Structure 1
């Protein structure tokens, strides 16, 4: 692997993985010419526990990512006990890849606005750049201490190992895992919101079909 090529990560519960996640990761990979790793969370600090367990979500991810090699899976949060704090994940990745390779944390515009509520959020910039996944017409101007902290960190492209904020334009796909779970609970099959490979093995989606009342 060329050490100058950025490594980017997209975290989440992926409960379940869907085309919105995948398209955002793919477009970020193209925009940054980066390797992108999907990092499923073990214990999200700010939301309820996932419907599917860790092995089930990883199996869905593997099915979804089959046939390409630009997006991969990184299970380090699943292998670590306790809450899945992003700063710990970035510290672990930085230790693995060394001090010089660019590392990019990919976040949605809404998540970026709330970044100051994250655990040890200022340290995120010591380990990585922040790539903000932006959609046309969606504002993500930070306020307060986040605005002050990032005021001089805006950049048009990733340069150096860490520290900047870079906007990455993505195609707006209004797909939400919550809506997919609700569809399963209502007895529907949310085809074409998830990769077709996820439907090829009945066991992959069994936790979501079990939501039916």
Structure 2
């Protein structure tokens, strides 16, 4: 079984996230994509983020129509720092030793990988499926592989254009009373409005 893992704040989950997941699902012939909402402890104190319960609910509602999309609350359930290597180990243990894990990221994250917690262990545990990012050149990727040679056999470059959607802009649109129905799943839009999320300077109800 081949499992894709897609982490993010998902505040809110939007069509860009779903397109990334669908593209990875198709290009890698995955059996499942696991969405992993980020824990709150990584976020800067001056950065607004909705409570985990809301972000979890938005992911649940946004992926419910695709049986190959699932969710794990491993990062929001943990206290203290959450590291990707631990998240991958947890999902591997859940799915069994025979499962192959594909961690889905942007190429900008690949370039930063040497700065991550225990990158060598992470690379040993999973494949890294990366989407191109503007401003990231082949030379940047080569420098990363020079620092982490084992990455060369574990890096998969995904292709295709991505929907350019900013979650920050979506929150601002909601705060101003503007519709976002063309950028998020209907169920997510309904949840945002029923809970009064993002209405008052980013504070949720």
- In structure 1, what is the equivalent of residue 85 of structure 2? 87
Give the deviation of 1:86 after TM superposition.
Answer: 0.7
Give the deviation of 1:212 after TM superposition.
Answer: 6.5
Please report the TM-score for the alignment, with normalisation by the length of structure 2: 0.85
- Please state whether the residue corresponding to 2:17 is helix, strand or coil: helix
Distance, in Å, in 2 between the alignment partners of 1:44 and 1:12 is 13
* 1:94-117 alpha-carbon deviations (Å, 9 max, x no partner): 222333321111101122211122
* 1:138-168 alpha-carbon deviations (Å, 9 max, x no partner): 6463254x2214446435xxxxxxxx11111
- In structure 2, what is the equivalent of residue 142 of structure 1? 141
Alignment CA distance shift 1:152-1:126 (3 Å): closer
Alignment CA distance shift 1:68-1:42 (3 Å): same
- In structure 2, what is the equivalent of residue 160 of structure 1? none
2:9 corresponds to 1:18: no
Does the aligned pair in 2 maintain the 1:13–1:44 contact within 8 Å? no
Alignment CA distance shift 1:211-1:153 (3 Å): same
Distance, in Å, in 2 between the alignment partners of 1:111 and 1:39 is 16
- In structure 2, what is the equivalent of residue 41 of structure 1? 38
RMSD between aligned alpha carbons? Answer: 2.4
- In structure 2, what is the equivalent of residue 166 of structure 1? 156
Give the deviation of 1:170 after TM superposition.
Answer: 3.4
Give the deviation of 1:200 after TM superposition.
Answer: 2.5
Alignment CA distance shift 1:44-1:124 (3 Å): farther
Please report the TM-score for the alignment, with normalisation by the length of structure 1: 0.82
* 1:193-213 alpha-carbon deviations (Å, 9 max, x no partner): 111222224334x22123269
Alignment: residue pair count: 199
Does the aligned pair in 1 maintain the 2:89–2:125 contact within 8 Å? yes
Name the one with the larger helix percent.
2
Alignment CA distance shift 1:152-1:57 (3 Å): closer
Distance, in Å, in 2 between the alignment partners of 1:108 and 1:80 is 24
Does the aligned pair in 2 maintain the 1:18–1:194 contact within 8 Å? yes
Does the aligned pair in 2 maintain the 1:43–1:83 contact within 8 Å? no
2:6 corresponds to 1:7: no
Distance, in Å, in 1 between the alignment partners of 2:15 and 2:164 is 10
* Structure 2 unaligned spans of 5+: none
